[in-house]
Amino acid sequence: MIDQHLRTLLLKNKQKFMIPASLVATVNQSNSLAHAFLVLTKDRYAKIIVIDNQNHYCGQVSLAMITDQLLETKRINVERLNELTVRDVMQTDTPVIHDPTDIEENLHLLIDQSFLPVVDNQNYFCGIVTRREVLKAVNYTVHTFGK
């Protein structure tokens, strides 16, 4: 349980916690791995959100997941980039959250994740909470607490 005074300080800029879905790079689960590879590489992301045609959250895909599919015993098979879809390699067991301001849950989950997808009750993708934004709140709190 987080002390109420600390919680208040942590949530001072809670409106900045969630980056809205419209500003988050995503790929569709039916996209080719070539497309996902280009998005990840061009935008310099390690991992991005996967959605379906109705903007429901499906999972995440990373460069490591893609390159793992290209490795063969003696070579890298780049043809597989066009043979496989994002659905074939995406990770579906990542944690999601419903409340971007649940600071206690977010702190716990962000230990092992760089971002947390925010979904509504119908699994519609709403945005992400990043470790960076939560750490900004922690930084503000520890520097303001005694004042």
133: CATH: 3.10.580.10
Count of domains forming the chain: 1
Return the percentage of the chain with pLDDT > 90, whole number. 65
- The conformation of residue 117, written as its DSSP 8-state character, comes to E
Q: Per-residue pLDDT for 11 more than 80?
A: no
CA gap 89, 24 in Å, rounded: 20
Residue for token pair 């962000």? 110
Give the distance from CA 57 to its chain's centroid. 10
Structural domain containing residue 77 = 4-144
pLDDT reported for residue 142: 83
Whole-model pTM: value is: 0.88
Q: What mean pLDDT comes out for the span 111-127?
A: 96
pLDDT reported for residue 96: 97
